[in-house]
Homo-oligomer: A and B are copies of this chain.
């Protein structure tokens, strides 16, 4: 038995995107994605929350240094995504329909890789991504969900 805490860092970035599947025809794209498929694209101020879980280091009183967590978020997510078009400018999103769900899954891989050398015993626990003030997505990584 050990004492674990969950520490979260938030960051906002502004990006454009469009939901569009090139394998489908126009009508089907419009039916699936509605106004999110409109040709000129649109955009959001995405609010990202990254949660890391782990034991509290008795020496520092921290799960992970927030400065390190912030640095990884900036390097891996804000750098490639902020003020960008998610569909054309971000190498790790190539070929992905940029729904909030798919963004969470792709961000997880980027962050886990970026954090792996810096967070010692801790682990990436949750990504929460708010797309508008009325919808957000949460992802807890591959594998069975915490409640299943």
Contact = CB atoms under 8 A, between A and B. Distances in A.
A135 B10 contact: yes
User: How many copies of this chain sit in the oligomeric assembly?
Assistant: 6
A16 B45 contact: no
A92 interface: no
B3 A142 contact: yes
Task: Count chain B CB atoms within 10 A of each CB in A7, A15, A38, A136 and give the residue with the most.
Answer: A7
A96 B61 contact: yes
A30 to B, nearest CB: 12
Q: Say what secondary structure dominates the interface of chain A.
A: mixed
A64 to B, nearest CB: 10
A8 B145 contact: no
A97 B35 contact: no
Contacts of A3: 105, 142
A139 B45 CA distance: 22
25 contacts: A1-B142, A1-B143, A2-B144, A4-B144, A5-B138, A6-B145, A7-B136, A8-B136, A9-B135, A10-B134, A10-B135, A16-B17, A16-B40, A21-B59, A38-B84, A40-B84, A40-B85, A41-B43, A42-B43, A42-B84, A56-B99, A60-B99, A61-B96, A61-B99, A63-B137
